[in-house]
Amino acid sequence: MDYPIGEYYCKIDAKGRLSLPSSFQEQIGKSVLNEGFVLRPALFDKCLEMFGMNDWRVMQERLGKLNLFKRENVMLVRRFNAGARLVKPDASGRLQIPKDIMEKCAIEKDVVITALTDRMQIWDKKLMEQEDASVSEEDFINMLSQKLGNENDVR
């Protein structure tokens, strides 16, 4: 699935509904919106991960290849899937975010949706700003150079 370009600043209302911006909805497309998304607490950050259904199925296929006669694999699959919830936009383009996972990720009112390569993240705006501030611009440039600066790549 192609995830939307950029960051989307949104608000969650008092009932826990996240209004998806129209530009976000246009980039995602109606078929993806109709299928819905899987939300789960992120593995490494205090935010939510939001998978399109196709990417969720791919992740489940990967997990399904683990030998479930090994205790650690059962634990891994169970814990990965434990907080997952299926959510679909309502007629007004809002996602109902379950309260328990909002609390677990310290998500309040102002949020930011951003895309990774195989999922999106929903951050509380203040927490994302703190996370982003933890890496200086110089460190970010160095990371880019180390990870993507292959000197043999002549593009």
The confidence score (pLDDT) of residue 80 equals: 94
Most distant CA atoms of the chain, gap in Å: 52
Low-confidence ranges of the chain (pLDDT < 50): none
The confidence score (pLDDT) of residue 122 equals: 97
List the one residue out of 94, 92, 122, 90 whose CA is nearest residue 108: 122
The confidence score (pLDDT) of residue 154 equals: 55
- DSSP assignment letter at 29: -
Distance CA 91, CA 68 (A): 40
- DSSP assignment letter at 12: B
* 8 A C-beta contact, residue 99 and residue 16: yes
At 69-105, the pLDDT tens digits run: 999 999 999 999 998 999 999 999 999 999 999 999 9
DSSP string, 122-137: EEEHHHHHHHHHTS-H
Q: Is 13 helix (H, G, I), strand (E, B) or coil?
A: coil
Number of neighbouring beta carbons within 10 Å of residue 138? 8
Locate all alpha helices (DSSP H) within the chain, ordered by sequence.
22-28, 30-35, 53-64, 71-82, 99-104, 125-133, 137-148
Q: Give the predicted TM-score (pTM) of the model.
A: 0.89
The confidence score (pLDDT) of residue 150 equals: 75
